[in-house]
Structure 1
Amino acid sequence: MKIYIKNMVCERCRLAVISILHNNALQYSSVQLGVIDFDDTYGAQLPDEVQKSLAEQLNDMGFSLLNDKTSKLIENIKIACLDFLQHVEKPDKTTLSKHITATIPLEYNYLSNIFSEVEGITIEQYFIRLRVEKAKEFLVYNEMSISEIAFQLGYSSVAHLSGQFKKVTGLTPGYFRTLKNEKLRSPLDKL
């Protein structure tokens, strides 16, 4: 049995969920971004009181259980986008759509239509927002030059990064860096 969780976007999120499972003495076979696999430990479903308690503790940490099929699908698309973002600088030339369909074995047009209906934006627009937020993180912490950030995030040029950055934020990356304001950033799980 698997339980799907919303807002798990990084390794720290995964560790927080594992901590909750350990605190409740719940046995599991694996915890990945967005999903806890209990195997057959608890049968087809967790006991209601256990599931309710787990849901409350997850909510306290900023996560939530996904119960309907569409919500699970949307969350899986978001996780696939985050995974693609983490590997986008590698020159294997896989596209976002191919990565998503390799992760979720459904037609991309179907996934794109469902995502747009529910989220109000396209998958590509969502991915652009993710990239811009990651660029903001790099800019705030002043770790790399703008050209290094562009390369790290898989942009073809600094101009491409700057154009998308300005379209989303209304600011250029250079000006954003001078502000050094963390409040202008959004957590990736809130996109």
Structure 2
Amino acid sequence: MYTKKKQQQVEDVLLTQIVVTSEANNIFKHDGKIYSSQSYNSGLDPDMSDFAVTFYEIIYNKKIIRDGQIINTDFAGDTINTGIYKKGQRKKVKLKNRHCLANFWAIPYIHGRKREKPKRDYLDSYLAFVEEKILIQDDNFKEYHDFSEFKLAQFIPEGINSNTLDSQEISIKDRAQLLAKSEIGKTLWQYFNEYCLF
């Protein structure tokens, strides 16, 4: 039975920071962080760690990686909220807790892994961009009939806002709750339990 306690455990793991390591070939928790290997053939990146890739495969019900390569370029792991650009500054103020599953999703490779996402990583701006692309039936979003379907598939909370670090943190927590309460919450609990992450 998927109890409230298990739901809270799932939410907690979704918010736990992920560190990618090349020194181990497994997934484990140490000092309040989750350490993961990475099979994807690229530089070490938490949003393409083995731990994150299996998370994507659970929530999207699709295979993401085969032999270290991305299978479908419409589904590549990426970090949702990464921080903000303050007025007059060229360097981004980074969000400290950005490397967690609740802040990871799979979007077209060209928008995340190949170059900086359109709209400079601001989620609400990127969502407006996606809505336009779905309306004109852009090939990168052919999986979705409409924008509502995209938001549902991506577990995007209502009233999303990414203009401040605080609003980005709220978005991450809201998404963790949404995922934990969803029909895949039980599957996520089983996955996390397999690696003794509670």
TM-score range, shorter chain: under 0.3
> More strand per residue: 1 or 2?
2
Q: Which has the larger radius of gyration?
A: 1
After TM superposition, the score normalised by the length of structure 2 is: 0.26
Larger RCO (CA under 8 A, 6+ residues apart): 2
- Higher share in helix: 1
